Amino acid sequence: MSRPTSCPREDEVMDVVSLGQWPDRADDELRRHATSCEVCRDLALVGVSLHQLSDVMSSEVRVPDASLVWRRSAMLARDEAAERASAPMLVAHVWAFVLLAVVGAAWLAGLIPASVVPALPSDQWWTPLGERIRSVAAVDIDAFADRWAGLAVVLRWGGVGLAALIVAAAAAWLLVLVTDKNEERPADPANRPA
């Protein structure tokens, strides 16, 4: 025979237990029932134990003053608001660095002598754009090439170095920004109430 999992008188027992009046102020008949009913007996034992323990512990514990918790929460809220406000700035930074990297790469493409760069296919959609960038970036230096051959070489390779530096710096800054952002916001799975 399976054990009963509920009793129609559970609520009566629970009412007395939750008032802290079990067993002294419980009805005699209800008490007699609880000694013979396994469900109500367990309910009375567990209910009274936990009710009393809860009362005892609540009276013992000392918690921080509400104003301290309030201040801490306010400061955290301020930090969160600042973080939210800085989000558009991060996007702007990312775009600025991407743009810088593109410009640097274009300059690099224009400064490197044609003989160093492997031949590119001429039938791609970006070919006219590449040619245009190359011509714009290279025209001034090439004008000096005949008369100031040595200076032109220095300018050209100096320019290559500078452009490479810009690209590398943009990449590094971007990396630092992304890393910082991830460190500021660790994975926090805790706050998901409701």
Partner 1 sequence: MSTRDLTAPGALALTSDDDSAVAEASRALHMDEAAFRGFYDRTARMLWVYLYRMLGDRSAADDLLQDTYSRFLRARVAFESETHRRRYLFQIATNLSRDRHRYHAVRPSHVSHDEVPEAAELSVDGAASLTSRLQLEQALGSLKPRERQMLWLAYGYGASHLEIADVVGIRANSVKTLLHRARRKLAGLLGRPEGRS
Q: Exposed (0-12), middle (13-18) or buried (19+): which is 110, by Cβ within 10 Å?
A: buried
Cα angle 45, 50, 56; round to 5: 130
Shorter beta-carbon distance to partner 1: residue 69 or 117: 69
Q: How far apart are alpha carbons 28 and 184 in whole angstroms?
A: 64
CB of 61 to partner 1, least distance (A): 5
Separation in Å, CA 67 to CA 12, 72, 73: 41, 9, 10
CB of 85 to partner 1, least distance (A): 12
Shorter beta-carbon distance to partner 1: residue 23 or 130: 23
Q: Are 112 and 160 in contact (CB under 8 A)?
A: yes
CB of 108 to partner 1, least distance (A): 46
User: To which residue do tokens 């918790």 refer?
Assistant: 69
CB of 67 to partner 1, least distance (A): 7
User: To which residue do tokens 């460190």 refer?
Assistant: 183
Separation in Å, CA 33 to CA 24, 41, 119, 121: 15, 8, 98, 95
Shorter beta-carbon distance to partner 1: residue 35 or 127: 35
Interaction site with partner 1 (CB under 8 A): 5-6, 17-18, 22-24, 35-39, 41-54, 56-78, 80-81, 189-194
Shorter beta-carbon distance to partner 1: residue 88 or 193: 193
Shorter beta-carbon distance to partner 1: residue 69 or 151: 69
Shorter beta-carbon distance to partner 1: residue 47 or 104: 47
CB of 41 to partner 1, least distance (A): 6
CB of 59 to partner 1, least distance (A): 8
Cα angle 86, 87, 93; round to 5: 90
